[in-house]
Each structure stands twice: as C-alpha cells, then as structure tokens.
Structure 1
C-alpha cells in the first residue's frame, strides 16, 4: 500500500484543502500516515502561538547582601561583586637566564624553600578565593534571575467540566491563571475518557452564544496547560470544552464534545 507524500501530509495537518476523498479514506485505513498527520497538527498548533519575554533587569543594590546572608558567607566576600573594582595583576618578573652559585645555594637553603612554598600557597589561595567568589556570584545571579522571571500568579476563574451523554464516565476541571503581567493560562484535567486510534483531544474556548470558538491546543495527557491568546475576552468566551477530533485535516470542531463547563470568576 502506497502512503501519502510528506508535502500532502503537511498541508493536511495545517488544514489546507489538499486531500481528496481517497486521501481521507487512506488516513482512516493507514495508522502510519494518520500518526504523522496528528504529530504535524500538534506542531502547527504550537507554532501558532508565541510568548514574548521582557528584557532582564539589573539586580537592585540590596540583592547581594541578602544572598550573602542566606548563604552564610564570610566577610571576605561581603562586598557587592557588581561594585568591586578589579585589582590589576602585576606582570610576572622575568626569569633570569643564569643563576649564580650563591643563588643556587640560597635556593637549596631550607628558608628559601619555605619562602617558595609560601608564595605558592599564597598564589593558590588567591585563585581559590577568586574561583569561590565567581561561583557565589553565579549562584546569586541565578537565584535572582529565577525569582525575577517567576512572577506571582493567581487563579482568577475555574470551572467544573460536565460530561456529555456520549461520555458519561468523563469528568474534568479547568482553571484560569493570571501571572500579573497580563499573561493568562488555562489548565485542564480530564479523567474517565478513552482515546480511540486515529483520534486526539482538543481544548477549546467557546463564546456563550456558541457562535464562535477558539482552539487552544491538543490535550496529550490527563492534564495540560495552554496559553490564552492576548485580546481574548474571557467574559465572552466563558465556556471551556474538550472534544474528540478525528485526524482528517479539518480544523473545525468535530461536534463530539467530551466535557464542557462555564468559567466562574467569583
């Protein structure tokens, strides 16, 4: 049995009218081609949305002192690394080409060997201190960046998703989170449904009058989180719906809803 070529599979996955009736029937009969269309459909859904992160800001002056206190560091590294002026390292003195007998004798003297070992230990201590400060600065910067890039989020709406008659065992929940910067996400969970071969589950926001709907993406597991597009008025699109969708290249809702519920903003 011959399979659909890659170009036709890609066009069908993006919802383009590229497949004939024979091609659609082939997708029903061929698990391999159906799986490829489903996978590329997921990629197309992800590509339709993007998240723009803001520019990183310089840490406030008090960040280092808090890091210093939390890590219990010594006073040797109490100064803010961002404000420390680097000390120029002197160039090493040239090594003499020849060594006199007296110098050779002094080099073998116990005191001279002790001074050499002391200089080596001092140099090693400087390098260890410098490496420790660099590690502490990296850890502190990582902690600050992680905290800065993790804005506080809050649940602003939720819904209990009731089962449709064809799926009496299904039950679901939904929550809308706002991260404080205007970015909203929908998290859904679904239990009690069985996914048949050649099908996938899709998450939707539906307007209250049922005349318009927005696809948020494919639900691969029992739960998933999806970005709500900017500009969507959730006072209008209050219905959360999860449906079974056949792998047929048609981006429209199949009409086979598993669960649905209305968001409560109380």
Structure 2
C-alpha cells in the first residue's frame, strides 16, 4: 500500500511525522517519491504566488553582478558621489525574525490548496498557474547566460501577460552539471538588493506568477541559483548558474 497523500504533504513541509516503515517505503517507491516531489514543488511555488518575498542577497551575489555590469569601474570614475560598492542594508529580512512555525503554517495552507487543485484536475506544481494556449502575450524575453563555474549552462526567461493583466515568468535552463540540490529562480534589481524568490525549477523548467506589486522596470535581472540539498535558508546561495536582464 502506498503512503497516504496527507502524510506526504506533511513530509513536504518538513514535518517529522513519518515512522520508519513509511520512510523506507517512500525511499523505495518511485510513485511515492514522485508524489512527494510534486507536493514539495507545490509548496515552494504556491508559497510565493500570493506576494513578492524580498530576500537580502549574500555578498557574493552582488559581487558577481557588479563585475558583470562593471559597476566598480563606474564607482571609481564618478568619485565619492557614486553609490557604494557594497549593497545597502536589506529592505526585508524574511529569515531573521520569522518563527519557523509561522512558515510551516503558511506553506501548509498552500499545500492544501494545491491538493484541492489536483482533485479537480488543475494539477500541481508548475501547472497550477498554466493558462490556455493563445490567451497570453509575450511582454519580454531574454537569454540566460552561464556564470563562471557553470560553463555550458544556458537558459531563457519569458514574461507572459494574460488578458486580465496577470503576469507569469517562464524559465527554462539546461546544464551539463547534474543538480546537487534545488535550482531556484530569482528576480532582482541591478544591485541585487533586494531579491525576489520566485520558486524552484522542475526538470529545468518552471512557471512563476509575478506579483502585481513587482515593477519590471526595477526587477529586471533574472537569476537561477544552485541551492544546497536540504536547503533551509531563504536567501540566495551565492552560487548563480545563469543570469540575464529583461529588456523592459
């Protein structure tokens, strides 16, 4: 008998609710592993669907972007009135003071919503926000170029808009390097401060709703990071795979 979907949903939230027998079964059952992965993806995507989660970047993210945009040279040329080389303090620190319990409650609500969507045939994960063919227009598209350490990697980011003005970020990424953990999609300003965590790729693809409050004139950079296995840190790992700037 397969593991209960309710139990798999709780496992996707990181809850320690399974006994040894259930864990052994999930580890050896392809069907249950796939269902657990779908619940995990749904939790990650849906948690971000209702609002833009602003995240303070790690210093190395700013350093990478600064090198790409030659911002250090601009600082030296413009003198003391230029912006500092290091980013200012973050506008929000989601991981600093937020209790773990509140995070679990929010994600649990979204996982339950995803389960209901599955029951009526809408689907889980990246299919939650899929729109019908011909119902969207392309607002912007950009190629995602490999960062140092990720030769041969590439991708594309497209912003779609439906007839009601709802926007979706569609990202595809390929890499010769196997994934060592989840690969996360981010939107950020040119200074990488703050960043918006959009969600995780599944098999190199993902569709992520863009909150109405997000100004694409400011959050033009699309970045895909390799996050560590079992990552519990809401911040960018500092290991960017590919990046590009939306032409908006």
Provide TM-score, normalisation by structure 1: 0.47
Structure number, greater radius of gyration: 1
Greater relative contact order (CA < 8 Å, ≥ 6 in sequence): 2
Provide TM-score, normalisation by structure 2: 0.50
